[in-house]
Every structure is written in structure tokens, then in C-alpha cells.
Amino acid sequence: MTHLQRLVRSAKAFSHALTRVSSLGSTPPPKPKLAPKPKLGLALGGGFARGLSHVGVLKVLEEEKIAIDYMAGTSVGSVIAAAFCSGVSAKELEEIAKMVRFRDFARWTVSRYGICNNDRMQEFLPRVVKVKTFEELKIPLAVAATDFVTGEPVVFQSGPICDPVRASCAYPGMFAPVQVAGQWLVDGMLGHAVPSTPLREMGADYVIGVYLNAHWVQLRGPRHLFDVIGQCFSIAQARMSAQWRKDADLVLEPNVDGFSYDGFDRSAELIASGERAMRAALPALRKFLEGNSAVEDELLAKADAKPHLTAA
């Protein structure tokens, strides 16, 4: 082989290699598509004044900068959730809790359907919820009520907020049923004591359920008819809790023993109880959040570590 032939052969080999590099592209390969960030849902159960514990839960999440993607509420849980989703901070809710009393949203009345009426909520809710409709909320919200005729759960996620929340708070025997869009509705605790299932249906990947498990009557016995009704529902809820627990990844049970249903004057203690419960559960929540973050970091690191060629 002559010297000229060797030069020609080398030039052809170099040209072939250059073409091969160019075909690989001059930019790095695309990074792998990561799964969407897991969505966190918070379900708040009922409990009258004891529901102020929910404010403590929200305080801790807010302080730890843990964002909530979806919320659902039953009874008092729906009031607090609606306010928070509308943009009211946990700190603001704490201030509101110091001032609110039973008379602010209920009045005693003579009726065949209940000994109280919650129509005062029509004035109370606009003061604590910054918007009028579900569509205007900053965080998607589900409000749970129960169809009085069929017994089926009813979940609201659109339209005006006020009446669905009133219905969710219509505790049987105490408050008269509330009519919404032709349906007679009562307290959501009969269908969703802790509304974890609606959060799953909304798309939540990880659900925190807050359950206020306290019997109405202690050893002293019942004081009046409402204690009898409340204790019966409390027993029933405890017996049926497996239904909502299956859709909750993390269950918080703030200690609300010894607090009466109308103990709004003990808001500081109730909020502190919610804070303690949420702080105790932070390691489990962080394990989930950081676990998903670690998986994403690992995928990105592997993508960055892959060698790639660039054209000269």
C-alpha cells in the first residue's frame, strides 16, 4: 500500500468517525421524565369546639413550610378548612379562635327538627372565609355532608361555599337539617367522619386524617339530651372508623379528652393539643416527603452521570 493510499484511508476513517459523533447530536441526552410531585391531602374531622385542634395542626405545617395540595372537612373541620383554603393563615385562625363563641354561629330555637339553628353562619362565614365560591379558593377543597333521606355521603367541590358548610355542620338532633339544591342535608360525620376518601378521589397521594376521638360523657354521666345524642354518635363513629382509616396514610388524634363540645373559651389549650399531635407525626411525614425527594435526586444524578459526546 502506497503512502498516498494510506493517507486516503486514514482520511476516510476520520470522516466516518466525525459523522458518527455528529449523529449523536451536540447536546446532552434529555434527562429522564420524573413523576409529578406527590400531592398531600389533609382531612379534618368534626368535633364542635374540639375542632380548634385543627388550627394547631395547620400552624405546625405552616411553620415547617409543608404545602397542602388538597383539603377536605367535615362539620367544624369544613369551617376551618374553608377559611384556610381561602387564604386565611393559621396564625389568623388562632386569633379568630380566641374570640369565637357558640353564639356566633348558632342560636337556640323551638323546632321539631332541632334545638338550635345555624343560620347565623350565613353572617359568620363571610367574616372568616375570604371568598364566596369553591372555584375562588387557593387550595382545592371538599366539604362533606350527608343526605338526610338516603343516608348517602354528599361531597361539595364547586359552587357557593356557605350552605354546604352549614349543612356539614348540621349535627342531628341539635341543628335543623339544611336544604341545598333541593336536598335535605345533615352533618357530614355520618358519611365521612374524617373525609379521607374524597381526598383520594381528588388526587391526593398521601393523606393526613385528623380525628377528634373523645366521648361526650365521662364517668359523671349525661347532663342533658344533647349529651345522650352526642355520646351515641361518638360511639358509632369510633366503631366505624375503619372505613375512613383505609384511605389515610397518617392519622392524628389530638388529645381532646376533658374538653366540652362548647368549650370555645379553651381555644389555646385545644390549639396546643393539635400542635403536639402534628409535631409528634412530623418524622413520619418527613420520611414520606424526603423519600420521594431522594428518588428524584437519584434519577437526576444518574442522568447527569451518563457520558455524552459533543461534536467538535
DSSP per-residue string spanning 226-238? HHHHHHHHHHHHH
pLDDT surpassing 60 at residue 309: no
The pLDDT value given to residue 297: 46
Mean pLDDT calculated for residue range 106-110: 78
In whole angstroms, give the CA distance from residue 23 to residue 178.
69
Tell me: the pLDDT tens digits for 135-179?
999 999 999 999 999 999 999 999 999 999 999 999 888 888 999
pLDDT surpassing 50 at residue 127: yes
**Residue 215 — pLDDT band, cuts 50, 70, 90?**
low
The pLDDT value given to residue 29: 58
Cell 476516510, located at residue: 12
Tell me: the pLDDT tens digits for 2-48?
655 554 465 555 555 545 545 545 556 565 565 678 899 999 999 98
The pLDDT value given to residue 279: 98
Task: State which amino acid sits at residue 295.
Answer: V
The pLDDT value given to residue 308: 43
Q: Indicate if the alpha-carbon torsion angle 232, 240, 121, 81 is positive or negative.
A: positive
- Which residue, among 300, 204, 257, 229, has the nearest Cα to 53 in the 3D structure? 257
The pLDDT value given to residue 6: 56
Question: Catalytic positions, please?
Answer: 75, 187
Mean pLDDT, all residues of the chain: 84
In whole angstroms, give the CA distance from residue 76 to residue 220.
26
Q: Does 68 or 102 have the greater pLDDT score? A: 68
Mean pLDDT calculated for residue range 97-122: 83
pLDDT surpassing 90 at residue 291: no
**Residue 116 — pLDDT band, cuts 50, 70, 90?**
confident
Tell me: the pLDDT tens digits for 249-266?
999 999 998 888 788 999
What percent helix, strand, coil does the chain show, rounded to 5?
50, 15, 35
What pTM was computed for the model? Answer: 0.81
**Residue 214 — pLDDT band, cuts 50, 70, 90?**
low
The pLDDT value given to residue 120: 86
Q: Which of 49-58, 85-94, 103-112, 164-173 shows the lowest per-residue confidence on average (mean pLDDT)?
A: 103-112
Top mean-pLDDT range of 5-9, 105-109, 160-164, 298-302? 160-164
